[in-house]
Amino acid sequence: MDTYDLLVVGSANADLVIGVDRRPAAGETVLGSDLAVHPGGKGANQAVAAARLGARTALLARVGDDAHGRLLLESLRAAGVGTAGVMTGGAPTGVALITVDPAGDNSIVVSPGANTRLTPGDVTDAGALLAAARVVSLQLEIPPATVAAAVRAARAAGTRVVLNPSPPAPLPAAVLAACDPLVANEHEARFLLRGHAAAAASEPEAWASALLERGPRSVVVTLGAGGALVAGRDGEALRVPSPPVEAVDTTGAGDAFTGALAWRLAAGDGLEEAVRFAVRVGAAAVTRAGAQESFPAAEEVPAP
């Protein structure tokens, strides 16, 4: 068995994008631009981001036995992601139907498809892959029971867990307790803190310390152009600024950030050092259009 820096357990979707002058109302048909099909899904995005930077990366995911599944496998392989853990069949590949209006506003319908068929049993079957990785990175576009099984297996194997709670959903205590770090943007942080006074605070430091009370070993809050905030159990939260860049398209910035962060942790960096690298990768990703297409190779990451 090869060893990996990073195993991503998560989703793979085909993003189907059509430009429209305006969104159709109920019962209405509008004509749009030519269809563009892009490889996406948070799991595949994170794996591609890390592999493109040079990480030995594998993905545990499920796609359909169809053209979208083949597109995803191709993009993963082209980036150098190990695909032995990408299973095929059981349902159509997950798709995101995206319409974009001239103001750049999106409307999105997601059909999770094969992503919902990634089971706890698949995680058990991939035990060797989990044990061969230094870090496992998770998001929430696969069934919650599968996320929980991957966390349990990672803990049993002594593998570090990085988790991005996106799309936001409640997390069981055992999952939260394993996160090192929990990586949340503002929206995700506020969701996890609903019912807590800190959810209404405007200071990310308040979200980070309230999130730590929920059990994770460490927390990273991403702040868009503001960079990120790092908070561990031992001491002050620290803001890490992002290099100033001209943002063209922020799609996938969080995935690029988290893939880069997980890789640097696997390579032995401390959390602060890994975040200092990840903000540079996130910043590079927003200077180009698209998600995976925008992720930088190591030599394209801006200097600190």
DSSP for 167-198?
Answer: S-----HHHHHHEEEEEEEHHHHHHHTTTSGG
Q: Using CB under 6 A, which of 6, 212, 283, 301 touches ligand ADP?
A: 283
Report, in Å, the least distance between residue 228 CB and ligand ADP. 4
* Eight-class DSSP state of 113: G
Fill in the DSSP letter of residue 32.
Answer: B
Q: How far apart are CA 295 and CA 199, in angstroms?
A: 31
C-beta closer to ligand ADP: residue 149 or 278: 278
286, 290, 292, 294: residue in contact with ligand ADP (rule CB under 6 A): 286
Least distance (Å) from ligand ADP to the CB of residue 1? 32
Q: What is the distance between the alpha carbons of residues 126 and 136, in angstroms, rounded to a whole number?
A: 12
Q: What is the largest CA-CA distance in the chain?
A: 57
292 binding ligand ADP? (CB under 6 A): no
Which of 19, 92, 143, 224 touches ligand ADP (CB under 6 A)?
224
**What is the x/- site pattern for ligand ADP, positions 98-137, by CB under 6 A?**
----------------------------------------
Residue range at the interface with ligand ADP (CB under 6 A); choices 9-17, 148-156, 171-179, 279-287: 279-287
Is residue 40 part of the contact set for ligand ADP (CB under 6 A)? no
Q: Which of residues 173-192 bind ligand ADP (CB under 6 A)?
A: 185
Smallest gap, in angstroms, from Cβ of residue 239 to ligand ADP? Answer: 11
Taking residues 234 to 273 in sequence order and writing x for each that binds ligand ADP by CB under 6 A, - otherwise, the string is: --------x--x-x--x--xx--x----------------
Q: Give yes or no for a contact between 165 and 184, defined as CB atoms under 8 angstroms apart.
A: yes
Q: Give the residue numbers marked as catalytic.
A: 255
| Distances 173 to 10, 75, 176 between C-alpha atoms, Å | 20, 35, 5
- Counting every residue written for the chain, the total comes to 304
**What are 61's strand-pairing partners?**
86
The nearer residue to ligand ADP, 60 or 221, going by C-beta atoms, is: 221
Strand spans (E) along 101-217 = 106-111, 133-138, 160-163, 179-185
* Helix/strand/coil for 301: coil
- Distance in Å, CB of 105 to ligand ADP, minimum: 15
Smallest separation, CB 222 to ligand ADP (Å): 3
Considering only 82, 227, 259, 296, the residue that binds ligand ADP (CB under 6 A) is 227
Q: How many residues bind ligand ADP (CB under 6 A)?
A: 18
How many whole angstroms separate alpha carbon 255 and alpha carbon 43?
Answer: 8
Helix (H) or strand (E) holding 114: none
CA–chain centroid gap for 54, Å, is 17
Q: Which residues bind ligand ADP (CB under 6 A)?
A: 185, 222-225, 227-228, 242, 245, 247, 250, 253-254, 257, 279, 282-283, 286
